[in-house]
Amino acid sequence: MSKKDINVPNIGEFKNVEVIEVLIKKGQKIKKNDPLITIESDKSSVEIPSSDEGTVISLNVKIGDKVSEGDKIIEIESEIELKKTEVVESPKNQLSKEVDKKEIKDNKETGDIIIKDFSTKASASPKVRKFARELGIDINKVPGSERQGRVTESDVKLFIATKSNKGFKNQNTTDQKVEQEYSHSEFGEVEIKDIPRVKKLSSKYLMNSWSKIPHVTNHDEADITELEEFRTSLTDIYTGEKKKITPLAFIVKALTTSLKKFPNFNTSIDQIENGKMTVKKYYHVGIAVDTPHGLMVPKLRNADNKNISLISAELKKISQQCRELKIDKKELFGGSITITSLGGIGGSFFTPIINYPEVAILGVGRAEKKQVFMDGKFVTRTMLPLSLSYDHRIIDGAEAARFNNDLKENLGKNFAYKLAV
- Its pTM stands at 0.58
Q: Which residues contact 76 (CB under 8 A, 6 or more apart)?
A: 3, 4, 5, 6, 30, 50, 52, 53, 54, 55, 56, 57
Section 54-71 average pLDDT: 88
Apex 389 CA angle, 369 and 338, nearest 5: 85
CA atoms within 13 A on the CB side of 235: 6
Instruction: Summarize pLDDT for 144-174 with one digit per residue, the tens.
Output: 887 777 888 878 877 776 665 554 444 444 4
Q: Give the per-residue pLDDT at 402.
A: 96
Tell me what pLDDT residue 100 has. 40
Indicate the average pLDDT of the chain: 81
* DSSP letters for 359-377: SEEEEE---EEEEEEETTE
Three-class DSSP category at 272: helix
Asked if the peptide bond before residue 357 counts as cis, ω within 30 degrees of 0, the response is yes
Average confidence (pLDDT) over 57-75: 89
Half-sphere exposure of 74 (CA within 13 A, CB side): 29
pLDDT in tens, 402-420: 999 999 999 987 665 555 5
Q: 389 with 351: CB under 8 angstroms? A: yes
pLDDT for res 184: 82
Q: Which residue has the higher pLDDT, 15 or 94?
A: 15
Q: What is the pLDDT of residue 105?
A: 44
Separation CA 363–CA 340 (nearest Å): 5
Residue 381, strand partner residues: 370
- Tens-place pLDDT, residues 238-261: 888 888 899 999 999 999 999 999
pLDDT at site 216:
94
- Provide the β-strand partners of residue 286: 299, 338
Rounded distance between C-alpha atoms, residue 333 and residue 355, angstroms: 10
Give dist(CA 53, CA 51) in Å, integer.
7
**pLDDT tens per residue across span 364-388:** 999 999 999 988 999 999 999 999 9
> How far apart, in whole angstroms, are the C-alpha atoms of residue 388 and residue 362?
5
Rounded CA separation 189/186 (Å): 8
| Separation CA 70–CA 10 (nearest Å) | 8
Cβ–Cβ under 8 Å, residues 230 and 416: yes
Cα–Cα dist 45/139, whole Å: 16
Q: Count Cβ atoms within 10 A of the Cβ of residue 304 and give its class: 0-12 exposed, 13-18 middle, 19 or more buried.
A: middle
What DSSP character marks residue 177?
P
Residue 396 confidence class, pLDDT cut points 50, 70, 90: very high
Mean pLDDT to the nearest integer, 38-50? 76
Higher pLDDT, 222 or 4: 222
pLDDT-derived band at 272 (thresholds 50, 70, 90) equals: low
Q: Which residue has the higher pLDDT, 135 or 94?
A: 135
Higher pLDDT, 180 or 302: 302
Catalytic hit among 215, 219, 293, 392: 392
Question: Does the pLDDT of residue 205 top 50, yes or no?
Answer: yes
pLDDT tens per residue across span 318-338: 999 999 989 998 999 999 999
Q: What is the per-residue pLDDT for 400?
A: 96
Closest CA to 115 of 97, 128, 130, 101: 101
Supply the pLDDT for residue 256: 95
Alpha-carbon distance 409 to 243, whole Å?
24
SS3 assignment, position 67: strand
Determine if the peptide bond prior to 126 is cis (ω within 30°).
Answer: no
Average pLDDT over residues 342-370: 93
State yes or no: is 392 an active-site residue: yes
Q: Name the residue with higher pLDDT: 421 or 270.
A: 270
- Domains of the chain plus CATH, in order, are 1-88 (2.40.50.100), 104-176 (4.10.320.10), 198-419 (3.30.559.10)
Q: How many CB atoms lie within 10 A of CB 242?
A: 11
